[in-house]
Amino acid sequence: MQAVASLVDRASDALARLCGWAYFAIGLMLGYEVVARYFFNAPTIWAEELSRLVFVFATLLAAPALLRHNQHIRVTALTALMGEGAQRVARLVALGVVIAFCALLVWHGIEAPLNSYARGRSSGSMLDIPAWWAQSAVPLAFALVGVQAVLEFLRCAMGAPLPSDAPHPE
């Protein structure tokens, strides 16, 4: 299990770094669009739509690393008052809910991109990007979050130290 856990953790972290660079690329694309449109009166047909597509993927695909490093939004008012055993149970329950939610999103979310692919739907813009590209972000991202959540659940169930509420040093 240790080898699989290490592989999943490295993949989550690498994906998060890639998502950070994707946000940088979005800034470049939109900056180029602003300069082209307002200084040269030559707007692009690609910058806005492509940056929107990259934004969707970058936002969703960073989620497994957030879960891994315990940097997601949490309300700790009650769990801070609990002992370690109760905190562990609360974490297991929360991770179980995350796993179930991810399974539902993948199960129901896969239908839209498959349907769009089968019907040949596209964005309808000048770029005419296939609709399934953007729609696949949800099932893909939540499948990855689900895998990370299963890993975190197993770690917690096997007695790994509970994550602290302190911010991650990276």
Dump pLDDT digits (tens) for 65-116.
Answer: 999 988 887 777 787 788 888 889 999 999 999 999 999 999 999 999 999 9
Asked if residue 1 has pLDDT above 90, the reply is no
Confidence class for position 167, pLDDT limits 50, 70, 90 = low
pLDDT, residue 124, reads 80
pLDDT, residue 84, reads 85
Asked if residue 153 has pLDDT above 90, the reply is yes
Task: Please give the share of the chain, as a percent, with pLDDT higher than 90.
Answer: 69
Dihedral sign for Cα atoms in the order 49, 52, 56, 58: positive
This model's pTM is above 0.75? yes
C-alpha–C-alpha distance, residues 124 and 143, integer Å: 28
